Amino acid sequence: MILGLSTGRLLSCPPFVSSARDGTIRRRAAPGLPSPSAQSSDGLRSRRSWGIPPRRVAPAVRRLAAPPARVSTKNGASGEFSEESGPRNASFLEFLTSERVKVVAMLGLALALCNADRVVMSVAIVPLSRAHGWTQSFSGIVQSSFLWGYLMSPIVGGALVDYYGGKLVMAWGVALWSLATFLTPWAAETSLWTLLAMRVLLGVAEGVALPSMNNMVSRWFPRSERSRAVGIAMAGFQLGSAAGLLISPIIMSRTGVFGPFIIFGLFGFLWVLVWASATSSTPERHPQISKSELDYIGQREKQPVSKIKKPEKIMIPPFKKLLSKLPTWALIFANSMHSWGYFVILSWMPIYFNTVYRVDLRQAAWFSALPWVMMAVLGYFAGAWSDMLIQNGFSVTFTRKLMQSIGFLGPGISLLGLNVAKSPSVASSWLTAAVGLSSFSHAGFLVNLQEVAPRFAGVLHGMSNTAGTMAAIMGTVGAGFFVERMGSFQGFLILTSLLYFISTLFWDLFATGERIDIIMDGGGADDEEESSSPN
């Protein structure tokens, strides 16, 4: 009973009843009285009809009058949140100081090492070709040997990520590719076959990097922040390319051609030690995460992280069912085109500037590095813009199609401009535009891999990566043979632009941001997106 402040009368508080079915608490009006919602709406209409502004209610009173939130009985802690209030968006400062940002920063550093270890050979191939008398086509074969290994591991690596989780698989991947990078000088001095074997091992180990990153992002970030998180991680990926292209010639001038391989390999071993000791596979296992951040991650997904259902472990994914869906093929073709353009530019641009514009190795590396810095910046912008569009009510499908269209049309048009450039500075501008705009693909197909079949995201990523790697091998080797036979890069750049335009049309026709229906043999469908990993 509550004493009425204005009338002095005793007012009856409506009793509360508990539902045994769902454990929620609801108000029930006293006998003979209208429901609380009817009382409030009738009173509001009467005050407005008289021109009286609605009465303000103090926050404390408003909380008393509002229906109580649903309560979780597990451990006596509140785990679910009111549908009326809706999920709260984290402020930029909260985002920057959160534990999940530390995790994605470590992922970005791993991807930076991943790409730096790749591009060292793109710089070293020039002095190595001169020392060993390799032709342009054979240089392409040496550079593509990395892709031979990269072709082997994505599907198996994706299945391992779905089974064991991204933390463990990423740790083993970084350790193995750092070992391969560290041993490259010894392999090059031993024999050509040993050098090729080390490059293949590098590719095998790096094939698990992106599936592991996607797995960790899906565990640590709510859906409304994942594009931004992928943008941060992939910014490290692109900055690794820039760092490798810029630093490698400087280190080579002081320590010899093999100096960067040793330094980058040692940095990889150090990263593994920090990763193993400072991160956890899931937020609820992290010893230093705050309860508010843990609740926020669960709130954005409508349920606490600790209550997400874990599916049964499945080691053999439903490949046939996945391949029967057109959105799967849209992802495969998108990854193939992105990899074709990415690896052609990554592998051949130093040689392109060196042969077409007659610039020395340091200048060629500088012109080739600038685009990757732009890709890192625009990649984060694309992720933030994508998250903003979804939060403002645009569909996930529309957002992914828009981002991917920019990621394909932009490079296609820019490569045509590169084809007619007359100076290295103009060529560098077009190349910067091509590579920078391609980063919109990270907010397109790369994030979409988590959405189409969440339970099998690692395998789907592996399947699309395998197709992308085959396209990258064809592009990298094909560019060498094309230039050797035709005498210029122009025809190959026109072909690449045409492929970009065709891939845009295919993506816009068949891609989707919705979950596709994958019915398992046991009769169950694909589970919630967070249930993609059992750990």
Backbone angles phi, psi at 402, to 5 degrees: -65, -50
SS3 assignment, position 66? coil
Residue 362 pLDDT greater than 70, yes or no = no
- Over residues 283-309, mean pLDDT: 67
pLDDT at 169: 92
The torsion region of residue 458 among left (phi > 0), alpha (psi -120 to 50) and beta comes to alpha
pLDDT at 272: 94
Residue 400 confidence class, pLDDT cut points 50, 70, 90: very high
pLDDT at 122: 76
Which pair of structure tokens corresponds to residue 75?
């451990």
Most confident of 119-133, 208-222, 304-318, 515-529: 208-222
Burial 58-85 (b: 16+ CB within 10 A, else e): eeeeeeeeeeeeeebeeeeeebbbeeee
The torsion region of residue 486 among left (phi > 0), alpha (psi -120 to 50) and beta comes to alpha
Short-list 101, 98, 198, 114, CA closest to 148: 198
Model pTM above 0.75: no
pLDDT tens digits, residue range 402-456? 999 999 999 999 999 988 888 878 888 898 899 889 989 988 887 887 778 777 7
Which pair of structure tokens corresponds to residue 483?
């230039």
400 and 511 in contact (C-beta within 8 Å)? yes
Residue 18's DSSP bridge partners are 25
From residue 147, give the alpha-carbon distance in Å to each of 198, 239, 340, 346. Answer: 12, 20, 12, 13
Which pair of structure tokens corresponds to residue 450?
């988590």
Q: How much is the CA Rg of the chain, to the nearest whole Å?
A: 28
Residue 305 pLDDT greater than 90, yes or no = no
Residue 25's DSSP bridge partners are 18
pLDDT tens digits, residue range 36-48? 444 444 444 444 4
Residue 267 pLDDT greater than 60, yes or no = yes
Residue 300 confidence class, pLDDT cut points 50, 70, 90: low
Residue 92 confidence class, pLDDT cut points 50, 70, 90: low
**Domains parsed from the chain with CATH numbers:** 97-302 (1.20.1250.20), 315-516 (1.20.1250.20)
pLDDT tens digits, residue range 486-512? 777 788 889 999 999 999 999 999 999
CA distance 259 to 249: 10
- For residues 524 and 207, which has the higher predicted lDDT (pLDDT)? 207
